[in-house]
Each structure stands twice: as structure tokens, then as C-alpha cells.
Amino acid sequence: MNRTELGVRRYFIEFIGVMAAFIGLFFLRGRVPAGDLKNLLYVASLIPVWLGGWVMVRAYRAVDEYHRQLILKSFTIASGLTALLTLSYMQLQRLGLPAISITWTWPLMGGCWGLCSVFFSWRDYASRYGVAKTLKWTGAMLALVAIPTALYVALAGALGWPHTVRAIILVATAIFLALNGYFIFVKRCAA
């Protein structure tokens, strides 16, 4: 196993760990009554957020130069798309569209980043394995995002968790990023 594969495997273990910690604290603070403990949980949930940033920096430093270029390219396009979309929505709000919380910026940017990564990896994969196999892989990945998200929605309904749209998007984004990376890097590095 080369440096890039090791770095990416480590990234997914660490990323899933910090996301699990964040989602755990997210749900826990929703069930705790207002007070010092709730405030502490709000502050504590910032720790996995910052650790997530550190995990991404570590992953960037661990991968080889081609992947660094792909990461930078995806991130740059995602940042530009997010800026354009948020600026456009800001203008459209003046025409009467409802105000949206700034917290939506993260799922938007995460989604743009994921889509850009998928696009570049899709092109890479198609050049080696052909379009038909790549389409099959893309369908499998989308199903793997949709099925756990649907299961989460069902489970949240049954157990009485807060199944707001924001929580569902958070879960879907986390699954999408984890699977995206797993399929793109780990599976294909080993191919």
C-alpha cells in the first residue's frame, strides 16, 4: 500500500470519527434542557468541527501531487459555485424569496465539493473502465447515499429524533462524502 492509499484510509477513519462525534453531540444537545449543560454541548460540538478541518489538512498532505491538484481544483470550483449561488440567492431574496440561515452554506459547499470531486473522478474512471461501468458505479454510489438516508428518516420517525430537513441533509452529506471518497480512492487505488 502506497503513501496516498494509507493517507486516504486514515482520512476516512478519522473523518467518520469526527462526523460521528458531531452528529452525536448534535442530537444530544437537542434532548438536553436549556442550561449550562446545553451551552457546554454547543461549545463541545465545535471540537469535532475544528478536528474535521485538521483531518482534511492531514489528508491533503498525505496524498500525492495528482490528488492534491484534484482536491484544489474541486475546492476552488466549489468555493466559486457557493459564492455565486449565495450571491444570487441574496439578490433573489429582495424579490421576496424567504431568508435562509447561514448554516445552509455548509451543506451547499459540501455538496458542490462532492459533485466536483465526483465529476473529476468520473472522468478519470471513465477513461480507464469505460462509460457503462462508470455509470453503474455512479448509480451504486447514489443508491448507497439514498438508502441509508431513507433508513435514517424512517428510524428518526420511529424513535422520535429531530428529523428536520437540515439534519437529513447533514446525514446525507456525511454519507455522500464518506462514500465518495471510499469509492474514489480506496477501491480504485486497489484496482
The contact set with other proteins (CB under 8 A) reads 2-5, 63-67, 69, 123-124, 127-128, 185, 188-189, 191
Residue 2 CB, nearest approach to other proteins (Å): 5
Residue whose CB is less far from other proteins, 31 or 187? 187
Helices (H), the chain: 3-31, 36-44, 46-62, 65-93, 105-129, 131-159, 165-181, 188-190
Residue whose CB is less far from other proteins, 7 or 48? 7
Residue 67 CB, nearest approach to other proteins (Å): 7
Residue 128 CB, nearest approach to other proteins (Å): 5
Distance (Å, whole) CA 109 – CA 148? 21
Q: CA nearest 183: which of 133, 147, 149?
A: 133
- What backbone phi and psi angles, to 5 degrees, belong to 25? -70, -35
Residue whose CB is less far from other proteins, 72 or 150? 72
